[in-house]
Amino acid sequence: MFLGLDLGTSGLRGLLVTETGEVVASAEAHYSVDHPHAGWSEQDPAHWIAACEAVIADLRNEVTNFGDLQGIAVSGHMHGATLLDADNQVLRPCILWNDTRSHEFAAQLDAIGNIRSLSGNIVFPGFTAPKLLWVEANEPDVFAKTAKVLLPKDYLIYWLTGAHVGEMSDAAGTTWLDVEARAWSPELLQAGHMRADQMPDLVEGSEKAGDLRAELARAWGIGGTVVVAGGGGDNAAAACGVGALRDGDGFVSLGTSGVLLAARDGFAPMPETAVHTFCHAVPNRWYQMGVILAATDSLNWLSKQLGRSPADLSGELGDTIGDPGRVQFLPYLSGERTPHNDSQIRGAMLRLDVADGPADLTRAVMEGVSFALRDSLEALKATGANLDRVLAIGGGSQSPYWVELCATILNMPIDLPAKGELGAAMGAARLAICAATGADPEEIMTKPQIARTVAPRADLTDAYEAAYQNWRAAYPALKDLP
């Protein structure tokens, strides 16, 4: 058997599969995020270890032959800064991907001449390098003691193996990696006031990072060697889970954040679009994605305000779309990445009428998120990415209304996979299979069976195109507000 661990922002999920990818069992454990100040988002890495132990305990209780485990891989939320001292002790809570305190340092780093050309990306406030510059300026004692910086999933790999190992897809989001060369960049490290010895060793996500520590193997009832793979950043692993490896493959994820991802055969950055260009979790592949910071999070926000569940709100709209609504929603509740790279902008609800009710507000939220994903599509097109259809994943894809809305606004068919395991945990399990058996990722990372395809509404595409152009005009006006 092979174990995929998906280290999410709010919880860890474990998925056990056979070598052919059949699901054996799954388990989850949850933890919280701390927000000690406005714009701060932190997590205690000890919670990840506790969650992993809980997941393993549940899987062992459910699966009698857990001792047959041969491989493990971890996927995880990207960009987090986990700082270790020379004794491998955690120095402070991990600063997470959605923490915006480092925006001034990000802007300073981004202004240095060759940063974008080497990293392939704008320096976003959530990336790892500006976090360390913030620590240097505000917690100099911690910075001075920092012997290693590990990304969240790599800290879990350290706990599993005792080795400091990272991989390409996650490292690409640090602003310390030469994304084309797939190696730490001396110039980028120097610009970020870091040293090469503070970085983990690098492997490909489908390669071996180490072996499971003997004491853990004994505690888990495992007699043989268990290979731990390099793993992958969450979206790269999700792409592995749905077989998105080649040019033309892609998915739209309606999760907490929203992602429109396109796999690429080569390195084709265009940082000025605010598109992320990262290494894939398999060798000699890259991917690009547009990211919006609040997708289903926007609906969750509305749910809290109205005291009704997201499912109840979306259900009120039915299964098929009508004409665009009058109310406009800009989903910048936590700032925005693609295409604006604006950590300070905040959301807005416009053109409200006294007659508007929950259905109007829900429609506006879903349209606003879908229009923001259209922004990402336009940015991806500018890089040369070619998407003519995508797979839909994430919790929001359970809403027929939202999927049809996205298909119409993106003006492309959206495939809905048949029931089954998809996404980052399955992608991690597939990476574990490759690392432990030497299997070719192209053979393991197949596409899922498609249950149905949702086509754009040809009778409404013109109306939604006009609505999108009107919606686009709201961002500059919102940004100009004092």
Which of these, 466, 478, 456, lies nearest to 324 by C-alpha position? 466
Q: How many beta carbons lie within 10 A of that of residue 266, not counting itself? A: 10
Q: Calculate the alpha carbon distances from 196 to 81, 102, 145, 176, 190 in Å.
A: 16, 22, 15, 10, 9
Q: Are strands 250-254 and 258-264 parallel, antiparallel or unpaired?
A: antiparallel
Please answer whether residues 329 and 368 qualify as being in contact, where contact means their C-beta atoms are separated by less than 8 angstroms: yes
DSSP 469: H
Angle at 471 between CA 469 and CA 473, to 5 degrees: 75
DSSP 122: -
d(CA 244, CA 60): 31
Q: How many CA atoms lie within 13 A of 35 on its CB side?
A: 8
Q: Calculate the alpha carbon distances from 46 to 50, 162, 337, 416 in Å.
A: 6, 15, 29, 37
Residue 356 annotated in active site:
no
Helix (H, G, I), strand (E, B) or coil at 2: strand
Spacing of C-alpha 319 from chain mean position: 28
Give the full edge-to-edge strand order of the sheet including 414-417: 276-279, 286-292, 258-264, 250-254, 390-393, 414-417, 450-454
In the block, which residue shows the tokens 């491998």? 88
Q: Which residues contact 112 (CB under 8 A, 6 or more apart)?
A: 191
Look up residue 458 and give its amino acid: A
Q: Which two tokens stand for residue 238?
A: 């999700």
Residues in the chain, total:
482
* Catalytic one of 234, 249, 375, 415: 234
d(CA 309, CA 368): 19
Q: How many beta carbons lie within 10 A of that of residue 148, not counting itself? A: 19
Please answer whether residues 99 and 160 qualify as being in contact, where contact means their C-beta atoms are separated by less than 8 angstroms: no
* Catalytic site positions: 234
